[in-house]
Amino acid sequence: MENKLIPYTATRCINASSVLIFAPHPDDEVFGCGGAILRHVEALVPVHVVIVSDGAFDVTNGRKSEVIDQREAESRNAAAVLGYGEPEFWRLPDRGLCYGESLIRRIVDQIQNTAPDLVYAPSLLEMHPDHRALAMCVVEAIRRAPSRPRLALYEVGVPLSPNLLLDITDLAERKMLAMECFVSQLEKQRYDLDIAALNRYRTYTLPPEVTAAEGYIVITAEQLVDDPFKLYQSEHQRQRDLGLAFDARDVPLVSVIIRSMDRPPLLEALDSVALQTYPNIAVLVVNAKGAGHSALPDQCGNFPLTLESAHGVCSLTRPQAANLGLKRARGQALIFLDDDDLFDPDHIARLVEVFNQNPQVMAVYSGVRMLDQDGLELNVFNYPYDERKLLATNFIPIHALLFSSRLIGEYGARFDESLDVYEDWDFWLQLSRHTTFVHTSHISAVYRALGASGVGLLANKELQRQGRERLFEKWRQLWTGKTIDCLSQYLFEREQELGAQCASVLFERDALLAELDRCRADLEQMELRHAEARASIDEIHNSSSWRFTAPMRYASIKAKNAIRLFGLFPKYIQSVLKKK
């Protein structure tokens, strides 16, 4: 989770073909991005540095020119150490930089004249007013610039929250030499040691071989155009956008809708919801049984639970119960859970994470494993999304998919109450007309084949056939020729795939049969050789010479035994003497 807040890897170079650096004072160009300058110079990338203020704050008029010359000379000396050339000095008043059109337009002109694709500026979090004013002006100039360069914000006086760390381990000594050029400033404060400590601190999340790094916020001009306030958001908002909630209210509310027939597995289903690691959930149990449904607590773990019944407490069909749930749910995102199925503890958290990673999408789904009554795995539903496949079959279990409530409120998606089965498939087809689905391959839910819907483990084939007929009869009136062509193309491709798989299996079968024939032939040869050897042995045993030499073989065996015993006799004598 921490890697959402700060990088855990460092780059060796920030790619660019031309670089422009804005420094509020003579020395900030080295303190903030001296390592980056060295990397660009090393890569033969042109670097142009603009030092905006004269650095002569609180200096009497008699010495002002002398101080300005000294500070500019120090920057030139540092530039020679870094090797990027001659800096440009604008000599605006120190502590006199202001956020406004005059400075913004000058920066825009500078960007147009030097044509960089990467611009450096101080962070908006800096404590010095000149740093902050220059940062704001550069941000606005980047937003306006027709060339759309990237922006890299650097840190000097206040650490920022970087999205990029630059490894400068091998450049730290040269950066220190460049910082030592600013003699007038180091007499007041050892800024060189402070910056070296900051660069060392930046390695906190990096491997041990990285001993110095610079931190940057790198952002594109397009991002600034889309959201001019993105860089100004609070840390609370930043972490909220990253999905790192300080409390439950910082993340979208997810409504879990459970259609209940008051069966014993309901309590296990509720337990699986109570164990969800996602912090902001509302549980809505829809009473599909009608009168006599058991009372439920008003909490499901840490989450509020509501038992909703139809007017008059009548029984409901599956589609009717689903629609009542959609009507009463208040979450920004919705998910169904049948009363005999289960969520893994991370199911909703993972789906919301994928949701946040794909803001243009309104439906995401995960993998689901199918278990029988004994808990044995029968199947896994974990298929990538294919809109054409959805036209042909339902491959997404109802509790696999999390969808935006916009699909209900804005687009009017509802369950078709005329369908006895496949009402979820019909619902997915409705959603697919307004959004694509994103699949995450992580398996995080359980489909238990315990029910009697007609489409589970104990499927009623006739009911399935009738359900498909009714569904296709409905949708054939809505599908265009293009849609039917997509379905036809999908079925054709599946036929080709199955044909190729069948051919592969037949080829493998033929290869195995050929190998079996070879093994049988080898076995026949071995059996023949064995019979021949057996016949040869029998012939020897039945020969006259074998009978005539039998006494000799007997005597040889006896002699060998005697020799062995004779060899053991001295050891026996020694053991007897030892006992005496």
- Reply yes or no on whether the pLDDT at 563 is more than 80: no
Model confidence band, residue 201 (pLDDT cutoffs 50, 70, 90): very high
At residue 249, the pLDDT reads: 72
> What burial letters (b/e) apply to 215-240, b meaning 16+ CB within 10 Å?
bbbbbebeebeeeeeebeeeeeeebb
**What span, in angstroms and rounded, lies between the C-alpha atoms of 422 and 399?**
14
Taking all residues of the chain, what is their mean pLDDT, rounded to a whole number?
91
Average pLDDT over residues 452-466: 66
At residue 483, the pLDDT reads: 81
CATH 3.90.550.10 is right for the domain spanning 248-476: yes
Average pLDDT over residues 327-346: 96
2-241 and 248-476 share one fold? no
At residue 198, the pLDDT reads: 97
Q: Is 142 left (phi over 0), alpha (psi -120 to 50) or beta?
A: alpha
Strands (E), 173-302: 213-219, 254-260, 281-287, 299-300
- Reply yes or no on whether the pLDDT at 453 is more than 70: no
Eight-class DSSP state of 542: T
Length reported for the chain:
580
At residue 557, the pLDDT reads: 79
- Reply yes or no on whether the pLDDT at 171 is more than 60: yes
Lowest model confidence (mean pLDDT) among 222-231, 320-329, 459-468: 459-468
Q: Are 383 and 432 in contact (CB under 8 A)?
A: no
> What burial letters (b/e) apply to 7-38, b meaning 16+ CB within 10 Å?
beebeeebebebbbbbbbbbbbbbbbbbbbbb
Q: Are 111 and 141 in contact (CB under 8 A)?
A: yes
Is the Cα torsion angle 475, 481, 484, 486 positive or negative in sign?
A: negative
At residue 579, the pLDDT reads: 61
Tens of pLDDT, residue by residue over 394-414, are 999 999 999 999 999 999 999
Average pLDDT over residues 511-524: 90
Q: Maximum Cα–Cα distance for the chain, whole Å?
A: 137
3-state secondary structure of 508: helix
Q: Which H, E and C letters describe 511-529, residue by residue?
A: HHHHHHHHHHHHHHHHHHH
At residue 454, the pLDDT reads: 46
Please identify which residue in the block is written with the tokens 């054939």: 476
> What burial letters (b/e) apply to 250-272, b meaning 16+ CB within 10 Å?
bbbbbbbbbbbbeeebbeebbeb
**What span, in angstroms and rounded, lies between the C-alpha atoms of 515 and 559?**
52
Q: Which CATH architecture has domain 2-241?
A: 3-Layer(aba) Sandwich (3.40)
Tens of pLDDT, residue by residue over 539-562, are 888 888 877 787 887 787 777 777
Model confidence band, residue 210 (pLDDT cutoffs 50, 70, 90): very high
Lowest model confidence (mean pLDDT) among 155-159, 210-214, 240-244: 240-244
- Reply yes or no on whether the pLDDT at 485 is more than 90: no
- Reply yes or no on whether the pLDDT at 75 is more than 80: yes
Percent of the chain with pLDDT over 70: 94
Closest CA to 290 of 323, 321, 264, 255: 321
At residue 451, the pLDDT reads: 54
Model confidence band, residue 461 (pLDDT cutoffs 50, 70, 90): confident
Residues 342, 346, 347: CA angle, nearest 5 degrees: 50
- Reply yes or no on whether the pLDDT at 170 is more than 60: yes
Q: Are 49 and 23 in contact (CB under 8 A)?
A: yes
- Reply yes or no on whether the pLDDT at 564 is more than 60: yes
- Reply yes or no on whether the pLDDT at 457 is more than 50: no
The full set of domain ranges for the chain reads: 2-241, 248-476, 479-523
Model confidence band, residue 14 (pLDDT cutoffs 50, 70, 90): very high
- Rg value, the chain, Cα: 40
Model confidence band, residue 240 (pLDDT cutoffs 50, 70, 90): confident
Model confidence band, residue 577 (pLDDT cutoffs 50, 70, 90): low
